Amino acid sequence: MSALPLNAASLVEAPEDLDELIEFFHLRRWSDGLPIVPPTRERVQRMLTGSRRQAHEVVARVAPGFGEATVERIAINAVMAGCRVDHLPVLIAATEAISDKSFNLQGIQATTNPVAVWLIINGPLALQLEVNSGMNCLGQGSVANATLGRALRLIMQNIGGALPGDMDRATQGQPGKFSFCCAENEAQSPWLPLQVDRGFAPTQSTVTVVGAAGTHNMNSHAKDADDLIRVVADTMAFPTSNDYWISGEPWIVIGPEHAQILHAAGLTKAEVKQRLWQASGLSAKRMAKVEFQRTHTARCEELGAIDLDSSLPISSHADGVGIVVAGGPGTHSVYVPSFGDTRAVTRLIES
Amino acid sequence: MAKKGLASVVVVSNAFVGLGKAQARSLGHPTLPLAVIAHPFGSRKREELKTVASQCVSQIITLVGLP
């Protein structure tokens, strides 16, 4: 019999009774507070069949505890979250993505800010896995949306070590920290999908991770593109946003009806970004004095001299405004301000 | 810095001591010294900060073992 690698997951004796077992996981802080699916050896073995990778291959080291995210450990958390076998490659790609330096997982996991990791799935796999991109795509009701986001949270907590109140220092946190996952509604988008903007082919499936500081509904019955851009940009500009003081990367989930209005006016996605970026300048005098000072320090190289009469751009360039088309019928789009000191990362999902 | 053999101290407010210790352990430096200041820190006035800073410098000197 060959010896197990040093990074092999340990087998733990757990109660057979389901109620006792769930309590066993809660007491050890291995759960997010919700009941888990027991990660028995058999279930984990079955989950591992979802990837061609070796069980003990290290995918990444997850901040802030820098635990080794092996394929096996990712699979264990996937089982616990209720994922299906074919979800595993998405989680492997997502774990790689959050560990990219530009994502700043260290900051996201340990900050007092309410940052959730938003997963956006693109490409044919989104349809195959039935990741909801339509009505209620950021809400409840879809197995993939609920369990993929949950599994990534468990990976960040159990492998990365960011337990609430310990290394996770969020002042309040936010509901998206339980799960925050959707697909792009590529069928109803008038533009090329997100993964193509980010250098992949339409036939490739990707996961994009975003350090999201919340969701804000933008209900507008505007029928005119100029009017719509004006009110969306006005919503983006609020003085307590991290994006302004540090030059962030905010996102807009544009509902299909709003996307059609913009497209009908002849606007490309890049033009919408440009218009939003230009119109969302924040008057520096709206900030608290200390935030203005922080902005002055953090963005002096980028902006040069600024004063209270300056209009501050939300990001250093128009492409810093992220756009994804998602949702169902209705006059709604969603503003997703970012943590600020983070950049979205996209990874290919291995088929 | 500690990995390079340089004397290192982490300055942390008392609300973040647990995080500082856990991070030090995770990064392989469980005995990394922490200079602890009172929380909250961000909302203090400049004059108060000067007092905090001078107390902190004393802690740092002690922690790195300077005479």
Contacts of A66 in chain B (CB under 8 A): 26-27
Mean pLDDT of B17-43: 86
Residue A151: which of A56, A44, A66 has the closest Cα?
A: A44
Q: Give a yes or no: residue B3 inside a domain.
A: no
Residue B67 pLDDT greater than 70, yes or no: no
Q: Could you tell me the pLDDT band of residue A129, with boundaries at 50, 70 and 90?
A: very high
Q: Could you tell me the pLDDT band of residue A2, with boundaries at 50, 70 and 90?
A: low
Q: Could you tell me the pLDDT band of residue A243, with boundaries at 50, 70 and 90?
A: very high
DSSP label of A10 = P
Residue A1 pLDDT greater than 60, yes or no: no
Q: Could you tell me the pLDDT band of residue B64, with boundaries at 50, 70 and 90?
A: confident
Contacts of A166 in chain B (CB under 8 A): 18-19, 22
Measure in Å the smallest separation between the Cα of A104 and chain B Cα atoms.
15
Q: Give a yes or no: residue B23 inside a domain.
A: yes
Closest residue of chain B to A290, computed from CA coordinates? B43
The residue ranking higher by pLDDT, B63 or A264, is A264
Q: Is A162 exposed, middle or buried (0-12, 13-18, 19+ CB in 10 A)?
A: buried
Contact B18 A167 (CB under 8 A): yes
pLDDT of residue A339: 98
Q: ∠A122-A345-A36 over CA atoms, to 5°?
A: 70
| Residue A265 to residue A187: CA distance in whole angstroms | 19
Measure in Å the smallest separation between the Cα of A341 and chain B Cα atoms.
18
Measure in Å the smallest separation between the Cα of A199 and chain B Cα atoms.
34
Contacts of B22 in chain A (CB under 8 A): 64-65, 161, 166-167
Instruction: Name the domain count of chain B.
Output: 1
Q: Give a yes or no: residue A232 inside a domain.
A: yes
H helix or E strand, kind and range, residue A17 = none
Say what the ipTM of the complex is.
Answer: 0.75
Residue A183: which of A256, A127, A263 has the closest Cα?
A: A127
Mean pLDDT of A296-306: 94
Q: How many residue pairs bridge chain A and chain B with CB atoms within 8 Å of each other? A: 24
pLDDT of residue B25: 86
Residue B63 pLDDT greater than 80, yes or no: yes
Q: Could you tell me the pLDDT band of residue A121, with boundaries at 50, 70 and 90?
A: very high
Q: Which residues of A touch B (CB under 8 A)?
A: 64-66, 110, 161, 166-167, 169, 290
| Residue A186 to residue A210: CA distance in whole angstroms | 19
Q: Give a yes or no: residue A205 inside a domain.
A: no
Q: In residues, how long is chain B? A: 67
Which of A65, A169, A290 is opposite residue B26, by nearest beta carbon?
A65
Q: Could you tell me the pLDDT band of residue B7, with boundaries at 50, 70 and 90?
A: confident
Q: Could you tell me the pLDDT band of residue B39, with boundaries at 50, 70 and 90?
A: confident
Which of A161, A169, A290 is opposite residue B16, by nearest beta carbon?
A169
Q: Give a yes or no: residue A68 inside a domain.
A: no
Pairing relationship of beta strands A251-254 and A322-325 according to DSSP bridges: parallel
Q: Which residues pair with A335 in a beta bridge?
A: A216, A252
Contact B22 A169 (CB under 8 A): no
Residue A4 pLDDT greater than 80, yes or no: no
| Residue A9 to residue A74: CA distance in whole angstroms | 10
Q: Give a yes or no: residue B4 inside a domain.
A: no
| Residue A97 to residue A212: CA distance in whole angstroms | 15
pLDDT of residue A288: 95
Q: Give a yes or no: residue A70 inside a domain.
A: no
Contact A66 B27 (CB under 8 A): yes
Closest residue of chain A to B44, computed from CA coordinates? A290
| Residue A32 to residue A97: CA distance in whole angstroms | 22
Three state DSSP letters for chain B? CCCCCCCCCEEEEHHHHHHHHHHHHHCCCCCCCEEEECCCCCCCCHHHHHHHHHHHHHHHHHHCCCC
Give how far Cα B62 sits from Cα of A14, A53, B7, B8, Å.
Answer: 47, 50, 12, 12
Percent of chain B with pLDDT over 90: 18
Boundaries of domain holding A269: 216-336
pLDDT of residue A229: 98
Q: Give a yes or no: residue B1 inside a domain.
A: no
H helix or E strand, kind and range, residue A51 = none
pLDDT of residue A351: 81
Question: Are A337 and A214 in contact, with CB atoms under 8 Å apart?
Answer: yes
| Residue A75 to residue A80: CA distance in whole angstroms | 9
Give the pLDDT confidence of A215-242 residue by residue, as tens digits: 999 999 999 999 999 999 999 999 999 9
pLDDT of residue B1: 82
| Residue A338 to residue A345: CA distance in whole angstroms | 13
Measure in Å the smallest separation between the Cα of A169 and chain B Cα atoms.
8
Closest residue of chain B to A163, computed from CA coordinates? B19
Give the pLDDT confidence of A72-105 residue by residue, as tens digits: 999 999 999 999 999 999 999 999 999 999 999 9
Boundaries of domain holding B37: 10-63
Mean pLDDT of A265-291: 97
Q: Could you tell me the pLDDT band of residue B42, with boundaries at 50, 70 and 90?
A: confident
Q: Could you tell me the pLDDT band of residue A180, with boundaries at 50, 70 and 90?
A: very high
Contacts of A110 in chain B (CB under 8 A): 19, 23
Beta-strand ranges (E) seen in chain A are 58-62, 67-70, 116-122, 181-183, 206-212, 216-219, 251-254, 282-283, 311-312, 322-325, 332-336, 345-348
Closest residue of chain B to A288, computed from CA coordinates? B43
Left if phi > 0, otherwise alpha if psi is -120 to 50, otherwise beta: which for A104?
A: left
Contact B19 A64 (CB under 8 A): yes
pLDDT of residue A303: 95
Which of B15, B22, B27 is opposite residue A166, by nearest beta carbon?
B22
Q: Give a yes or no: residue A249 inside a domain.
A: yes
Q: Give a yes or no: residue B5 inside a domain.
A: no
Contacts of B16 in chain A (CB under 8 A): 169
pLDDT of residue B18: 86
Contact B22 A161 (CB under 8 A): yes
pLDDT of residue B5: 83
Q: Give a yes or no: residue B38 inside a domain.
A: yes
Q: Give a yes or no: residue B57 inside a domain.
A: yes
Question: Are A269 and A197 in contact, with CB atoms under 8 Å apart?
Answer: yes
Give the pLDDT confidence of A38-70 residue by residue, as tens digits: 999 999 999 999 999 999 999 999 999 999 999
| Residue A163 to residue A110: CA distance in whole angstroms | 9
Give the pLDDT confidence of B43-59 residue by residue, as tens digits: 788 888 888 898 899 89
| Residue A134 to residue A267: CA distance in whole angstroms | 22
Mean pLDDT of B1-17: 87
Q: Could you tell me the pLDDT band of residue A126, with boundaries at 50, 70 and 90?
A: very high
| Average pLDDT score over chain A | 96
Q: Give a yes or no: residue B54 inside a domain.
A: yes
